[in-house]
Structure 1
């Protein structure tokens, strides 16, 4: 008998904590790239903040593709390890990395082709447009390194190794944080590049993380490895990665579409409203990605125990994860309700932005606790081969209910209605998610 995996033996609460804290930190750091860029470029001007904010839907889509592919790899590896199928787990590693690199190249090309008409649909201001194009033209080249390093991150997390991925993520973010002010403002020997400097810093950070990820996977002992002997491209694995990872991709990608449509509503009021929502969305993503970090810790545990047909530990993981998610988002709500103006001053908010931004922040943050419930149910469905329910929940949360609610409530309440739409959409989605969880019990018929 092989060595027992901690995902089938360790007490549940300590296991979830040790599995979730490192990816929680990693997911938090993943979204600090654009957060840090926005913080520094806001010191240039509000136009610069608006330009980088307009680029956020595109960068969110790029990261969503990376996370979706990575989660597909993660779930498959955990499931095969639960079935004690080492050869297939190694095959997933090799196929996953190749697929990630290929997708990264394709996404980079697409972004370069669509960015100009995308930005032109939002602004006629030549200054904002030029800065947005300058930023995105460079940021597009982060995608290959983003795809590959997140894939390796999820490979290791699928084996229960949560520490190494956290450290190579931290290394990339720290490099970005150091380079941002140096390249944006031209400190010491570095040229003054403005928003382009923020983009260069981001690309360097992701590339550094990718290099470290390969080093850890190849030269450090892991429970899986890159399969070379007898390796062949397996398009069945490609398909499974896409199918399993699609809900995670959609959850993140819909955030980009949501931002796009929200900006279309807000630009009717002012560019300051767009700048505010760009700042808010960075804050929201910090909270939601922290929640997703918890989810990424729970998914391999649920997938492993689903593969091992251990219903007790599978259910325990979901219950503990749901409780922790509610507590985490509850703390976030308290902080944002008590200190909204202090939070917005990080983005050098003007008096006009603060006038509507403070009440808006207090309204929208209430939705977080309901988002925690829906996200945890969606992840449970994803881990137990009920992808269609996971897809439905994610579509309802960020698009199917939210956009119509924005349109309807803005007709009666103006810009304030846009903020309340977030609460309405999340409450209804959480109720539907819980109903699905209760109605459709676990089935192990397709676990093998």
Structure 2
């Protein structure tokens, strides 16, 4: 029975995701260090434009995210042709949206600078980076669609390897083109845009090759023109709440960072350093939550609702244990680790107190991410969107302003609101998952006459 390894096992899915995200974080840090050698202005431009790019990526992530969930569901219900068609439409539509974004960024960089109040001294660098790196946003869209489709077939290793290769190429080319090494021109920030576009293009080509053979039937050139309105409607139905949810988080973070900037440079620096330390806790939770989404979607599609229900709790227990252990390690070594970034006693003291609060933040974050993704996996995306928008707006954003700014609690008050936001959302999604609304609906469908069950694809 177990001679063939299950590609949808939690650990099988999770560890490549974790390794990929970990190395991306480490290489991203190296990338930032190299850009800082150009100038502080270059770092400021890259940081500010990253917020703009993050907001725009929600447009195509709406499609690729919805397509990914449906691919796992359809494969679970043995509807491979539908999964294949959904993957193709997710790729072409995401690519089309990415191309439109690229054209806007390439042609409207100066106008966007005016909207975002980019200072005059940053404008020349802004135009270079947003026009050329942002102009390659279509490549980011294609990478998202291709890697999401491949992961949801149960193959999380290949996107990991390709992601690692892309980042290594990017760092190597950065070094050569920023500083003019190995006989290449010294292009500074323009060199970063060239290395970014070349490395992304290589990743797209490799991922597309894997994508061609990812399903039972090879994907040909003519298949790229395939469009099935009924299946695309399913993608949008699941995907648009994911996009709205993601947008809510992005704008909430932008607002909170504005509040932190009002507190002063020390608080802003402390939060920046805390983000770096906390990212190692977050990566564990993120890998588990993305793996459980793929696993639950596949089980749900196969009609194995009991296994899906229990599997989400098993993943939650593992994620809670790992995140809590990591938070304890950070607390024990926190002051030393913060000292690697800064010798400012104010920052060290404030950061150490926040690491204690991190013990409450990380379990809430894992609870929220794991069960939020489990609900998304069964199609309950509107509920998770509604809860997220409410909590992000009222608890996280408004609460941060009231406690952090008006009440004078500072960064500690903002952290308390971040903790409350994660736990509020976590408790609501826990109650929803315990209610089993979509799971019971699927069980009811499986008990209908055979003809109706076969139409829904939920037969046990």
**TM class, shorter-length:** 0.7 to 0.9
Which ranges of structure 2 fall in alignment gaps of 5 or more residues?
446-455
Instruction: Identify the match of residue 433 of structure 2 among 431, 434, 437.
Output: 437
Q: Distance in 1 between matches of 2:48 and 2:262?
A: 15
Q: What's the CA shift string for 1:165-212, capped at 9, x where partnerless?
A: 211111111112222333333333233344443343333322221111
2:420 aligned residue (421, 424, 431) = 424
In structure 2, distance between residues paired with 1:335 and 1:109 = 46
Residue 105 of structure 1: CA displacement?
Answer: 0.9
1:170 aligned to 2:168? no
Partner of 1:226: 219
Structure 1 CA distance for aligned equivalents of residues 25 and 245 of structure 2:
15
Structure 1: which 5+ residue stretches go unaligned? none
CA distance 1:23–1:125, change in 2 (3 Å): same
Which whole-Å CA distance do the structure 2 matches of 1:25 and 1:246 have between them? 29
Rg comparison, structure with higher value: 2
User: How far does the alpha carbon of each residue in 1:137-156 deviate from its partner, in whole angstroms, 9 at most, with x for none?
Assistant: 33213321122122222222
Task: Please give the alpha-carbon distance, in whole angstroms, between the structure 1 residues aligned to 2:230 and 2:413.
Answer: 46
Q: Distance in 1 between matches of 2:247 and 2:316?
A: 23
1:201 maps to which residue?
A: 195
What do residues 212-236 of structure 1 show as CA deviations (whole Å, max 9, x unaligned)?
Answer: 1012223x56445426678631233
Distance in 2 of aligned mates of 1:206 and 1:393: 35
Alignment match of 2:396 (pick from 373, 396, 402): 402
Partner deviation per Cα, 1:338-397 (whole Å, 9 max, x = no partner): 444665577x65738845762475266341220110111111111112222221343345
Q: Aligned residue for 2:448?
A: none
Contact 1:70 1:151 in 2 (8 A): yes
1:211 aligns with 2:205: yes
**Alpha-carbon separation, structure 2, partners of 1:208 and 1:341:** 41
The CA distance in 2 between the partners of 1:379 and 1:418, in whole Å, is 25
Does residue 291 of structure 1 match 2:285? yes
Cα-to-partner distance string for 1:257-283 (whole Å, 9 max, x where unaligned): 133212322332445655654555465
**Is the contact made by 2:169 and 2:199 (CA closer than 8 Å) also made in structure 1?**
yes
Q: Write the distance in 2 (CA, Å) between the matches of 1:11 and 1:270.
A: 49
Report the Cα distance in structure 1 between the residues aligned to 2:92 and 2:161, rounded to whole angstroms: 23
CA RMSD of aligned residues (A): 3.5
The answer on whether the counterparts of 1:337 and 1:361 sit within 8 Å (CA) in structure 2 is: no
Q: Does 1:385 pair with 2:379?
A: yes
**In structure 2, how many angstroms separate the alpha carbons of the residues matched to 1:272 and 1:116?**
31
Summarize the alignment of residues 10-409 of structure 1 with structure 2, pairs less than 5 Å apart.
10=6, 15-29=9-23, 34-112=28-106, 116=110, 125-128=119-122, 130-218=124-212, 220=213, 222-223=215-216, 225-226=218-219, 232-270=226-264, 273-274=267-268, 277-278=271-272, 280-281=274-275, 284=278, 287-340=281-334, 343=337, 349=342, 351=344, 354-355=347-348, 358-359=351-352, 361-362=354-355, 365-366=358-359, 367-396=361-390, 398-409=392-403
Structure 1 residues 395 and 329, CA gap change in structure 2 (3 angstroms): farther
Residues 78 and 304, structure 1, Cα contact 8 Å, conserved in 2: yes
Contact 2:64–2:148 (Cα < 8 Å) also in 1:
yes
Distance verdict in 2 for CA 1:49–1:229, change over 3 Å: closer
Q: Give the count of matched residue pairs.
A: 440
Q: Distance in 2 between matches of 1:197 and 1:41?
A: 10
Distance in 2 (alpha carbons) for counterparts of 1:107 and 1:33:
26
Q: Which moved more, 1:29-38 or 1:394-403?
A: 29-38
Residue 404 of structure 1: how far off its partner (Å) = 0.9
Report the TM-score when normalising by structure 2.
Answer: 0.82
TM-score of the two chains, using structure 1 as the length reference: 0.84
